Structure 1
Amino acid sequence: MTSWKRMTAIIATAMIGSALVSSPASAGAGTYLLGPDETLGSGQSLGTANGIALTMQGDGNLVEYAPGNRPVWASGTNRSGSILRMQSDGNAVVIAPGNVAVWSTGTNGNPNATLELQTDGNLVVYAQGHVARWANGVSVSTGSNGAAEQASAILANRNITLQTVHVSGVVDNPDASARQNIVDTSNGLQAARSAYGGAPGGRVSLDPRMLTALRQIGAEGALRVSEIAGGSHSTGSRHYAGRAFDLDQYGGRSTTTIVNRCRQLGATLAQFESGNHVHCEWT
């Protein structure tokens, strides 16, 4: 199922229909599956034997976590007290207080479908006969090569443009460009840092959490990455630690949307800087 990469977030009340019920069953503790008319309540989680979890957070965001509490996917919803319901019509829906649908898989018309969290990290809606109808496309590595896998996925995503030059215009080590940082990481190598201005030179391993977030934001729309480990930044910048990226094009999305999305995906600092880019970092 890891090849099923289509990811949608169709929020359409017309598709939700009459399957909203007032007293649904709840998923059993520790299960990896939501069956028809079962609900994941606020603060509850699905979980796999290898430590992957899908949590309906109290803030209303449905988030998938890899082992180590590393966020790898999120619905991007933020209505406190929301629940996730697997409706009997086959649609998985995040429902906010007041019975308001704020996110769905758009898979109605598949009665008695199930929502399954797989051990490979893929969250899938299966119709009867175990036919996949929707998936979030996540692939989680529980080994040491998570960064390489995420970097490879970033390179394969045509939504994501990786700059080959520095915003400063300084001609530097070509390995320190955003694109080459990702290429090298995909090949199991460390990413190069710049050696001009305050940059320290040398190489650094890119953080899988940061790469996962970049991959996710790119899956949701076009973007351009201007810097990762390269460029000259302030002293102690998380760029130099391989834990930050800068974006300067967002595919029509607002800077506020991108900042909030970085935060939802675990960034400890996300902000619009210098009037020309969004900076997101992980500690």
Structure 2
Amino acid sequence: MGSSPALAVLGSPIAHSRSPLLHAAAYRRLGLDWSYQAIEMTGERLPAFLDSRGPEWRGLSLTMPVKHDVVPLLDEQHDTVRLTGVCNTLLFDGGVRRGFNTDIHGIVMAFKEAGVASMSSVEVIGGGATASSAIVAAAQMGAVRVRVSVRNPQKSRHLLDLAPRLGIDMSLESLGSPLESAPDAVISTIPNGADAGLAVARELRRASVLFDVAYEPWPTSLAQSWLEAGGRVISGFEMLLHQAVMQVRVFTSGEPDTVLPDEDAVIADMRAAVGMGAGAAS
């Protein structure tokens, strides 16, 4: 008998990842005896690691710092990877490495879970791997104007390439540049709750919904400032959850848009596994 399919999340640091709990809960509900572990990984070690995977390996979740590093190692790129240059999901499919970006879906669903179905103007904080996914997600939700605030605008100029491809107006500003008017949403892509260095007037915090990709520790200083102003906040846990749901779809069916059997029950079990109730908007 062959081994049960093997899966893992790769990144650094990775020891405290919640992905193993989320995925284990999903496969339990689906009746699949699949293994999923967390493995410390850097870009330098990634090529040899991929080459050494045997036929029992079904897929990988990828987090920082390897979301960019994996892209040149793929045989096939989903449209979402070609658009963003970021891959957080690798499927081993009959000897072919297929790459996907499920973060976009995670961000869109995080907003929808909070009752935000559309937006016109968005402020994105940070220029890392998640920023391009946030811009694409905003465009999918109807945004036509996106301002990106980063520490070094020159280093993030590649993000502007997304504007003509998405049909949106984009600008790059230095982090801390004041917002002249309230966008529909502010998306912070600064990891681990680090200080975003963004001073937002109280009335703008009340008018714009904040989605913070960080979720531990929670609330972040930015989220706390929003809550103190009476604004609405969405935790990054919602993105983590829903990008993982799409990863489970990819790993089980080979396609990101194939809905899981009894998907609502799968999601409920995944939430329960990490102690999170329905919805994480404040």
The structure where helix makes up a greater share of residues is: 2
Greater RCO between the two (CA within 8 Å, min separation 6)?
Answer: 2
State TM-score, norm by structure 1: 0.32
Which has more radius of gyration? Answer: 1
How high is the TM-score relative to the length of structure 2? Answer: 0.32
